Amino acid sequence: MKARSFLLAVAATVVLLLTTALGLWWAMAQQSPLKIVGQPLVLPRAARFVPRNASLSLHWLADPGRMPAYAQAVAPVSRRRQARDSTQQLRDGAFALAGLDFVGELADWIGPQVSLSLFAPVSDAPAGWVLALTSLDQDGAKRFLQRFWQTRSLAGTDLQISRYRGMGVISGRGALLGQDPQPIATALIDDDLLLIASGRGVLEQSLDVSQLDALHQLGDEALVADLQQLGRGAALLTADPVAMATWLGIPRSISNDDDLVGLVAALEPKGTALDLDAVLRFREPLGGSGTGGLQSQSLMRSAGGSASALALLSDPAGLLSPHDQDPVAQWLAPVLEETLQTLGAEGASAVVGLDAGPLLWKQGEEGWLLGTSSDQPGLEAVDADLQVKGLVRSALPSDGSALEVWTRLARQRQRGEASLQAQLAVALERESGQDWWGQTLDALTTRQDHSALEPRLDQLRALQDDGAAPLAQQLALATEPSRAQLQKWRPWSLIQSVAGRPLLPAVQELALAVGTDQEEGSGEEGAGQAGSHRLRLRAQLRFG
């Protein structure tokens, strides 16, 4: 009996210890800053107060109070303090735009879901914004409203208190200390959802749309379907064509398309990276753009050498065609043409302009390197183009094979004597099933170093969805070109203004992929569709 009692006591102790450990683990997991990632993408309750035709809406589904701690937890040790401070300033600056002090007014009660919607002026409806904040308890939002309006009242603000659609509405003029007072209105929904708007008219418009499922986002079946397709994320963004151009920096060639409906995007932090997965909806089917999947993968396996930029293009000749009305072509063609002009690479222009794809483009210290399928483009067609540009073709003996080279005679002066020297413009190395065009012989030689290209290939792999075909056009940039591209992007300047400090030094890598959505119409219902109505865009911005 004593032995049995002893075993029971030991078993009870083990169970108690395991239960305690499990409870502590669960409590720590709930408080961990890493809990903000991996959340299912869902519409929050505040979406009932966001009209479907809102110019722009942003639903932040993660706890804003944990954002600085998350940035600190995933940042390299040497940059943890800087990452925390930058994220905190960015968060506080965003709320300050609405005249709110996050630390002083919101931090002790705000919940994990924050929604912002921008209203464009429509007929007699005013332009403005509505901010929706959830409360951790039933009294947090009430306490905030009392302090908020009491402070503004003592500062001389005239308050108007009324009821609209059965809800109490308070309006007046308020601002943070040192700022000009601006019109503002508030309404408390069910004691735990607070609406703050840029004026009474905008707030009433938001309350109006909440009454009909056909008007607000929560009843938008197409939006719900997009969320299911996007999967997970810490934030949901929607934008109409005007907001895409004004606030997101989308080129006018896309935003001015009459068929464009708008954009739905998911944002998800993953360690030191921020992922974006977006869908652009169009009214009419888009032209199908093949991925050239097997050939592209073969080119990626055969490529090598260090690269500052790596691109995979499914149909570069089609992208450069002035007659192609596909949104992707209109988007990428100016970028591709500008790049070719900047490089001054007449050889690259000839190959890219004649290649129906897929094409691999690598830019490194040794110059550019292009990989294409064998005889695509045809050797004679490229040669004819290069001859027009004054280049002469010849064969150059090499180890095991002969290289095709195109050169130009250039006048050289050494020690006061003039001479002619052949300058290499393009070199072609042909192997089974593939042609490799290089700006220099070193560009072809370093291709054998496959490990050096892994950083760029890893970026492209990170953009691929499990089980889905890769998107047609892909680009991976190293540190310097990533910063150069972001510096040109107007929204990046706005983000840095809100943060109050430069953020470019933290940027390490940028990768992009775009193409028609292959998932749409893949089922039985879409089998008879002429093409996809959606353009898919994925991007990853990595910090360090």
Task: Look up the domain containing 192 and give its range.
Answer: 57-221
Q: What residue type is assigned to position 228 of the chain?
A: Q
The reply to whether 7 falls in a domain is: no
The reply to whether 422 falls in a domain is: yes
> Residue 222 burial (CB < 10 Å; 0-12/13-18/19+)?
exposed
**pLDDT score at 150:** 86
**pLDDT score at 267:** 94
Which domain-ending residue is among 221, 242, 268? 221
Which domain-ending residue is among 462, 487, 506? 462
Ramachandran angles phi, psi of 181, nearest 5°: -60, 140
Domain shared by 217 and 304, yes or no: no
Token pair, residue 276, equals 């974006």
The reply to whether 282 falls in a domain is: no
pLDDT digits 0-9 by tens, 296-321: 888 999 999 999 999 999 888 888 88
Domain shared by 318 and 416, yes or no: yes
* Alpha-carbon gap, residue 216 to 205, rounded angstroms: 11
Q: Which residues of the chain have a pLDDT value below 70?
A: 1-38, 122-126, 155, 174-181, 288-292, 344, 398-401, 410-420, 467, 518-531
Domain shared by 309 and 444, yes or no: yes
- In sequence order, what DSSP letters do the residues of 171-210 get, joined into one string? EEEE--TTS--EEEEEEEETTTEEEEESSHHHHHHHHHHT
Cβ-based neighbours of 367, under 8 Å, separated by 6 or more:
438, 439, 440, 442, 443
Domain shared by 318 and 433, yes or no: yes
Domain shared by 202 and 62, yes or no: yes
* Alpha-carbon gap, residue 244 to 263, rounded angstroms: 8
- Domain total of the chain: 2
Q: What residue type is assigned to position 10 of the chain?
A: V
186-207 CB burial, b ≥16 within 10 A, e <16: bbbbeebbbbbbbbbbbbbbbb
pLDDT digits 0-9 by tens, 92-122: 999 988 888 999 999 999 998 999 999 887 6
Round the CA-based radius of gyration of the chain to a whole number and report it. Answer: 29
Ramachandran angles phi, psi of 370, nearest 5°: -115, 135
> Residue 6 burial (CB < 10 Å; 0-12/13-18/19+)?
exposed
Q: How many C-beta atoms lie closer than 10 Å to residue 442's C-beta?
A: 16
The reply to whether 128 falls in a domain is: yes
The reply to whether 260 falls in a domain is: no
The reply to whether 266 falls in a domain is: no
**pLDDT score at 320:** 85
Which domain-ending residue is among 406, 439, 462? 462
The reply to whether 21 falls in a domain is: no
The reply to whether 241 falls in a domain is: no
Q: How many C-beta atoms lie closer than 10 Å to residue 13's C-beta?
A: 10
**pLDDT score at 176:** 47
